[in-house]
Chain A
Amino acid sequence: MKYNEPLIYEISSPGRIGVNLPVCDVPESELPADLIRDELGLPEVGELQVVRHFVKLSQLNYAIDKGFYPLGSCTMKYNPKINEDVARYTGFAGLHPMNDEDSIQGALHVMYTLQNWLAEVSGFDAVSLHPAAGAHGEFAGILMIRKYHLDRGDVSRTKILVPNSAHGTNPATVTMAGMTVIELPSDHNGDVDLEALRAVCEGPEREHIAGMMITVPSTLGLFERGILKIIDMVHQAGGLMYMDGANMNALMGIVKPGELGFDVMHYNLHKTFSTPHGGGGPGCGAVGVNSKLKPFLPMPWVDIVEPADHEDEYPLYGFVKPEKTIGRLKAFHGNFGMHTRAYAYIRAYGGEGLFEVSKHAVLNANYVRSQLKDTYKIPYNRACGHEFVIEAHLDGAESIHALDISKRLMDYGIHPPTNYFPLIVPEALLIEPTETETKETLDEFIDAMKQIAREAKENPSLLTSAPHTMPVKRLDEVRAAKQLVLCCAPIMKGGTVE
């Protein structure tokens, strides 16, 4: 494969065109002179050039359809192609967000049913599909918690407890919602430090605790063993419990967060429920709530507005406004294309199938962990959920960092794991194989990791200068962060890149 594909501006030639515009079939009207430009700065290329250019770029892309993608916390599972077929049904894909509710009853049925399935999977009373991504779901959840306290006339509860192992989005969400974070330490087992939690819950901040955000299994991939005590302590102090459901792939059919006592959680449909992600969206951060928070759900929310007359008929669905709603969080009805894909996924697997998904996700992670535990340091080496953390420190290879191992994995054709997260593990590599990989693929990854550990000791420069087989070699991350200079501008004006 040729790697040095030029920018599309660099293959531009003056006067070359790829499209013949149709004859204008509406009356022409003059644009105001001050809105007309002479130089548009568009590339001038033929159709075949455009096709080849983008096909080559797509070949440079890495995707789950191309190789193993153990990116911890992101659940890069295979997305079955039937999801794509369903999302492309004309009755779904051809809808307009301004359609009358009467004309989109099929779509509303899908949303209503998906809401209920998600509620059942996690043991909640109601689910809204409105938020567009995980952090958006967190935001919805924390706004509901805030409004719940304000609605009771309690204005003093403005603080949210967040463990130091949390996803960075958790404290960011709290701040976005106008509240403040109380950070909780972890104990030596990687669980929340219960004594520190007790001190906060029984200390001077007790009356200010609005709630707690916690990820289960934790970002270390470990089931939080004190979770019932944690939920009880926070509830006793008057706070509500938010579960970050990013790691739900470990729990389906095994644990229902609503039954544990959580008041609200978000689901990442683009992780657990197999809607595509990577590249920034669109996603769906559905939120599930118990009866306390149900009146506060974001709007619009799908409900039955007129029951069916007979069992074999459909009811009339509509968008409704929950009684004390926190309001809209985005335009229209959420990312509906994600709802159809997640619906197809759940429909294809069924309840038993989702249980199998989680069992295999956990089994695969534990298999890889057990095979690597003698080669790499695993700081919290006990049975894990769907992912586990390596501390990328190798005896006899002190100069090697997590980043070097990640970069070297690319030479083996494997997407690197998440590195430097969670923050409580130095040189962290967070590995999440997912349930959709075969044992052969897992073994290839294990072999690559063991081979890299040998290379680290015998020929460390192989790692520190990696990758060697990629279109671009080791990037200067410091310069990339400090010099935010895009290089297209001079080329658009007919110049060249330095």
Chain B
Amino acid sequence: MAKLKFPSDLKYARSDEWVRVEGDIVTMGISDYAQDALNDIVYVDLPSVGQKFSKGDSFGSVESVKAVSDVYAQVSGIVFAVNDELSSNSELVNSDPYGEGWLVKFKIEGAGDFADLLDASAYEEYCQNR
């Protein structure tokens, strides 16, 4: 557990997505804890640019040799960009979950509500107690 990273500039969901807010653009991916628990990721199913999701909707899935897990929108919005690189290099989610392994960028619709998300230290504590 000690070697897992929890960057302090991100917010985290209890369903293990991370969120980076930059103006009205929100980037999402899965946490280091999630990629470690899932093991080798072999396929990432992502939405198309322009698709609309509400907070809490499943916008795609991450498939590892162990299981397929849904990933959930942590904000309501329209898909602004997806990480196409993952279609051929899904292992980026394992090797760099917060960088090159990002999944989608949403353009926020309305006021983004992030009150239910955890900061890095709270999320790390949450992970340690599971």
Contact = CB atoms under 8 A, between A and B. Distances in A.
Interface string A458-498: 00000000000000000001100110000000000000000
Nearest to A479: B42
A236 to B, nearest CB: 26
A423 interface: yes
A477 B67 contact: no
Contact of A477 (B40, B43, B90, B130): B40
A426 B129 CA distance: 13
Interface residues on A, range: under 10
Nearest to B69: A423
Contact of A481 (B37, B65, B67): B65
A401 B40 CA distance: 13
A420 B63 CA distance: 13
B66 interface: yes
Nearest to B94: A478
Nearest to A398: B1
Nearest to B40: A478
Contacts of B66: 420
Most chain A CB within 10 A, of B39, B66, B91, is at B66
B36 to A, nearest CB: 10
A420 B42 CA distance: 16
Contacts of A401: 39
Contacts of A420: 66-67
Contact of B42 (A423, A426, A478): A478
A423 B90 CA distance: 22
Nearest to B91: A478
Interface in A379-424: 401, 420, 423
B107 to A, nearest CB: 26
Contacts of B91: 478
A354 B43 CA distance: 44
Interface in B39-73: 39-40, 42-43, 63, 65-67
Given A478-B42, A481-B42, A426 B67 contact: no
19 contacts: A401-B39, A420-B66, A420-B67, A423-B67, A426-B37, A426-B130, A477-B40, A477-B65, A478-B40, A478-B42, A478-B65, A478-B91, A481-B42, A481-B43, A481-B63, A481-B65, A482-B42, A482-B43, A482-B90
Given A426-B130, A481-B65, A482-B90, 10 more contacts: A401-B39, A420-B67, A426-B37, A477-B40, A478-B40, A478-B42, A481-B42, A481-B43, A481-B63, A482-B43
Interface of B: 37, 39-40, 42-43, 63, 65-67, 90-91, 130
